[in-house]
Amino acid sequence: MTDELTPVDIIAESAGPKEAAVAQPAANGEGEVYSPRLAGSKDIIVTEHVDKWFGDFQALDDVSLRIKEHEIVVILGPSGSGKSTYIRCLNRLEEHDAGRIVIDGIEMNEDVRAMAAIRSEVGMVFQQFNLFPHLSVLSNITLGPQKVRHMPKLEAEALAMQLLERVGIPEQADKFPSQLSGGQQQRVAIARALAMQPKIMLFDEPTSALDPEMIKEVLDVMQELAESGMTMIVVTHEMGFAREVADRLVFFDEGALVEQGTPEHFFTNPREERTKLFLSQIL
């Protein structure tokens, strides 16, 4: 329904008095293209001058970022640099204090319906999986489609089985999360997010809580997802994934966006000293 409207239209329409101060209407598709395959894609996520405070601590400092549809963005940065806070602002698990966030043409504001619309477009995968331990694997996945999208039960279950096939564990459908390994739980969590048929997937350190031998199975699923054309924003320390799959790397430090570029740029010739220092520590 909002497909016909470009982000800019919506911004122009819904820019209230608060946003008006920082509004800098930009031409459609102004965001830079970091990969030839993204040529002609529209900007699906637009964030401008986003600030976030936790009490006296500034977690996000004037972050502006535009992300294209189908783009794979990997966010790097030391712990406490605001990268998790940033992606949590994108589906309003955190409320930003200043600036503007527009997801697929929907302005993020106090409106509950806008928030619901955004959450149904944006799937999220957490570091700690956060599966619902009292529900079976299948029910974990069907819950969203049934309760939010009002999908009939049988249809939701068929969809869930299809997604479990996709992440490679259809045989675990009737088990409970605690009976699965960490890698399997994380794959269920990915299936659960995909069941809402989102346009954007957020990954908040999806492999950080996993044993080394399970990291690959999760990364493989994520890579397959990337190849299928999903828009993905991934906070991770997996440099192999960043190098191979990402269209763009973004480096955060102390709440600010310090540097962004292609993987090639980052791994051969980073510009900023802080980026160089961070990469030298992590590689």
Minimum distance from CB of 265 to another protein (Å)?
32
Tokens found for residue 252: 């955060």
Query: Is residue 155 a contact residue for another protein (CB under 8 A)?
Result: no
User: DSSP per residue over 36-103, as a string?
Assistant: GGGTTPPEEEEEEEEEEEETTEEEEEEEEEEEETT-EEEEE--TTSSHHHHHHHHTTSS--SEEEEEE
Strands (E), the chain: 43-54, 57-68, 72-76, 98-103, 106-107, 122-125, 200-204, 231-235, 248-253, 256-261
Residues near 193 by beta carbon (within 8 Å), at least 6 away in sequence: 123, 124, 125, 201
Query: What are phi and psi for residue 127, nearest 5 degrees?
Result: -60, -45
Cβ-count burial 187-204 (b if 16+ within 10 Å, e if not): bbbbbbbbbbebbbbbbb
For another protein (CB under 8 A), the number of binding residues is 28
Residue of the chain from 68, 119, 187, 248 that contacts another protein (CB under 8 A)? 119
Q: Which positions from 45 to 84 touch another protein by CB under 8 A, shown as an x/- string?
A: ----------------------------------------
Query: Is residue 131 a contact residue for another protein (CB under 8 A)?
Result: yes
Query: Is residue 123 a contact residue for another protein (CB under 8 A)?
Result: yes
Query: Is residue 116 a contact residue for another protein (CB under 8 A)?
Result: yes
Tokens found for residue 107: 């302005």
Residue of the chain from 196, 200, 246, 250 that contacts another protein (CB under 8 A)? 196
Residues near 80 by beta carbon (within 8 Å), at least 6 away in sequence: 254
Q: What's the sign of the alpha-carbon dihedral 189, 192, 198, 199?
A: positive
Query: Is residue 134 a contact residue for another protein (CB under 8 A)?
Result: yes
Taking contact as CB under 8 A, which single stretch among the options 37-45, 74-82, 170-178, 234-242 is the one that binds another protein?
170-178
Query: Is residue 176 a contact residue for another protein (CB under 8 A)?
Result: yes
Residues 81 to 110 in contact with another protein, rule: CB under 8 A: 91, 93
Please say which residue, 16 or 133, places its beta carbon nearer to another protein.
133
Please say which residue, 108 or 242, places its beta carbon nearer to another protein.
108
Minimum distance from CB of 78 to another protein (Å)?
23
Tokens found for residue 163: 């997604």
Please say which residue, 144 or 255, places its beta carbon nearer to another protein.
144
Footprint of another protein (CB under 8 A):
91, 93, 116, 119-120, 122-124, 126, 128, 130-136, 143-144, 147-148, 153, 176-178, 192-193, 196
